[in-house]
Structure formats: C-alpha cells, structure tokens
Amino acid sequence: MTRPPSPTPPRRRRPGTLTEQDRTDWATFARLIATLPGRSLPDLPPDTPLPPPRPSPPAPAIPRLPTPPPPLSVGTQPGGLDNATWNRFRAGKLAPARTLDLHGRTAQRAFQALHAFLHSAHADRLRCVEVITGRGAGEAGGVLRRELPLWLNLPALRPLVLAASHPHAANAGSVRLLLRRPK
C-alpha cells in the first residue's frame, strides 16, 4: 500500500529576518513610545506616513474632600434643617432618646464622656440627645457650659451634630443636640 504524497508545508522565514512590512510596523510603533537614553528611533521608509502624535495624558484628578460643615452655635438654626423641625426642636418638643449628665466631672473627663456618648448615639441612629452641663457659678457659667460649644465644633464631633439648642430659655445648663442621620 502506498501512501499519497503529503502536502508540502509552507516555507518558513528564517528566524531573525524581517520583512519590509515588519520593519515599517515596528518603526511606526516605536514612534509611540519613549526611547531609552542613548537609543534612537528606527528609520521609517520614506513613503510611510507618520503616526498621529500621542495625546498627552490627562492631568491626575485631585480628590475632592468633603467640605466641613459650618460652625455650630447653640440656639441658631443651621442650614439644611426645615423650619417645622427646627421649631419643634427649639421648643423642646423633640424628646431626647438619651441624656448625658456631665455634673462633677473635670473638663477632660467630660470631653471624653461627650465624645463617646455622641459617637455611640450616632451609631445607634438616635436623632435627639441631651447633654447637661449645669449652670455653673458666676455670670459666664461653668467651665463645661463654656466649653461645650467649642467641643461640638471640633472635627471629631462636628460632622455628627446638625443643631444645638437649649430645651427651655430659662435652662442654660442643658443643651439638646439634633444628630445627623448616618449615611
């Protein structure tokens, strides 16, 4: 039995030799990349059009940081709170879900307690809380009463609090806080 002749395989180029099309393609591609120091671009054949210039990379985007909320003052309506809610809150008709009494604490311990209290209340999705500082002695009031508005405006606490008001005009030793809703 005889076998039929096998088809002849196509001729292969010898490794290391490039056709003119290969050289043109490589020279065109090389124009798109930066060359290493001390190296030059391969020559293009004279009838080859130059590739279009590579567009410059876009400027890196600068991430926008969220703008900090405006300073909080006790008894003034903040932006972003409707009048009906503000009036109910200011009149003391929103009952506090939790109360923190700072009487008898040093300023440092009172601040630590306030920090933990507000973060806990915010994590528990509470809307209204009350902080009792006491009236303090003298005309200016006690240390805690003077410091509370400053503490509420610190970067660690300000994003949690939407509004602050005294629940009653005659009671300056207590402040109700309307907390922001967690996102």
pTM assigned to the model: 0.61
The answer to whether position 38 is within a domain reads: yes
The answer to whether position 115 is within a domain reads: yes
Report how many domains make up the chain: 2
Q: CA 170: distance to chain centroid? A: 40
CA distance 162 to 21: 70
Q: Which helix (H) or strand (E) holds 96?
A: none
Whether 25 and 93 share a structural domain:
no
The answer to whether position 9 is within a domain reads: no
Alpha helix stretches (DSSP H) within the chain? 20-30, 83-90, 107-123, 143-152
Whether 105 and 40 share a structural domain:
no
SS3 content of the chain, % helix, strand, coil (to 5): 25, 10, 60
Q: CA 77: distance to chain centroid? A: 26
- Among candidate residues 47, 5, 40, the one with its CA nearest the CA of residue 24: 47
Whether 25 and 107 share a structural domain:
no
Full residue range of the structural domain in which residue 136 is found: 83-179
pLDDT at 133: 87
The answer to whether position 25 is within a domain reads: yes
The answer to whether position 132 is within a domain reads: yes
81 touches 178 (CB < 8 A): yes
Whether 94 and 39 share a structural domain:
no
The answer to whether position 1 is within a domain reads: no
The answer to whether position 72 is within a domain reads: no
Identify the CATH number of the domain in which residue 147 sits: 3.30.1370.110
Whether 140 and 93 share a structural domain:
yes
Q: Give one DSSP letter per residue of 97-143, joined into a string.
A: SEEEE-TT--HHHHHHHHHHHHHHHHHTT--EEEEE----SSSS--H
- In tens digits, the chain (183 residues) has pLDDT values of 566 666 666 666 666 677 778 878 877 787 777 778 888 777 766 666 665 666 777 777 777 777 777 888 888 888 888 899 889 888 888 889 999 998 888 999 999 999 999 999 999 999 999 999 887 766 666 788 889 889 999 999 999 999 999 887 777 788 999 998 877
The answer to whether position 69 is within a domain reads: no
Whether 148 and 97 share a structural domain:
yes
